[in-house]
Amino acid sequence: MSTVAGLIPSSSRRRIHKVVLWLKRIGLGLLITVIMLCTTGFIYQAVATEADKRNYPPPGQLIDVGGYRLHLYCVGEGSPTVILDAAFPAQVSNWVWVQSALSPHTRVCAYDRAGHGWSDPGPQPRDAIQHARELHALLTNANVPGPYILVGHSLGGLYVRMFADQYPDEVAGMVLIEGSHPDAWKRLGLPEGVGVDSNMLAVAPTLARFGIFRLRLFPVPLADADLPPQQRAEEQAYFDSAKYFDTLLAVNTVFPLALEQVRQTHDLGSRPLIIVIGGASDNVTGLARELQDDLAQLSSNSATRVVEGATHSGLVDQRDHALQTSATILEVLEAARTGEPLAQK
**How does strand 273-278 pair with strand 108-112?**
unpaired
Edge-to-edge strands, sheet with 69-75: 61-64, 69-75, 108-112, 81-85, 148-153, 171-177, 273-278, 302-307
Pick the CATH number of 60-338 from 3.40.50.2300, 3.40.50.920, 3.10.290.20, 3.40.50.1820: 3.40.50.1820
On whether the CB atoms of residues 141 and 117 are closer than 8 A, the answer is no
pLDDT value of residue 205: 84
pTM score = 0.89
For 224, phi and psi rounded to 5 degrees? -65, 125
Tally of CB atoms within 10 A around 279: 14
Give the Cα separation of 317 and 301 in Å (integer). Answer: 27
Contacts (Cβ under 8 Å, ≥6 apart) of 180: 154, 155, 157, 158
Mean pLDDT in consecutive groups of 10 residues from the start of the chain, 345 residues: 52 58 59 61 76 91 97 97 95 97 98 96 94 98 97 97 97 98 93 83 84 80 91 94 92 95 96 97 93 96 97 96 98 96 86
Closest CA to 313 of 99, 156, 202, 102: 156
Q: What's the pLDDT tens digit per position in 179-218?
A: 999 999 999 999 998 887 778 888 888 888 877 888 887 7
Domains of the chain: which residue ranges?
10-54, 60-338
Q: What's the pLDDT tens digit per position in 16-67?
A: 655 555 656 666 555 565 566 556 766 777 877 888 888 999 999 999 999 9
Give the Cα separation of 61 and 77 in Å (integer). Answer: 17
